[in-house]
Amino acid sequence: MNQEQVMNRTAESSLYLTSVITIYLQMPETPMRASLSDQALACRLEKDGVPLEIVEAALLLGSLRRLIRPKDAPSLSPIRSLAYFLPVIEELTETPAPGNYLDYLRLKLQQTAKNRATTVQKNTFLRDR
């Protein structure tokens, strides 16, 4: 491998790591910043050849599953680690989703988060009265 190929590979690796961490931190109920173990896991996912699309789909799907739980279900503690999503990553690696599933998940999470925010806002205003 020549120096240009090494630099390109390093840039691709950095882009993968940055993308995984950025997507992770944008999910509801995740920390404000990634830990060193989150970063190490993102590096491991890349080393293992897990496509970024699968990682993103897993984070979206895992977050959606939490958000659409029944209202009377016990509340869950916040997500503290990227490792929380490993079972969903494995699930989607073993059984890949259809091609347009990622777009569907993005839209569904956006709608769910918007509806949830509206409900929280309404409940807050009702309590203030």
| Residue 22 CB neighbours (<10 A) | 10
User: In whole angstroms, what is the distance from residue 24 CA to residue 45 CA?
Assistant: 13
**What are the C-alpha distances in Å from 116 to residues 8, 56, 58, 71?**
42, 21, 20, 11
The full set of domain ranges for the chain reads 3-128
Q: Summarize the confidence of residues 51-58 as an average pLDDT.
A: 96
Contacts of 53 (CB under 8 A, 6+ apart): 102
Of residues 66 and 117, which shows the higher confidence score? 66
For residue 7, name the pLDDT band (cuts at 50, 70, 90).
very low
* H or E stretch at 7: helix 3-26
For residue 71, name the pLDDT band (cuts at 50, 70, 90).
confident
| Predicted confidence (pLDDT) at residue 126 exceeds the cutoff of 60 | no
Provide the percentage of residues in the chain whose pLDDT is more than 70.
81
What pTM value is reported for the model? 0.80
| Predicted confidence (pLDDT) at residue 128 exceeds the cutoff of 90 | no
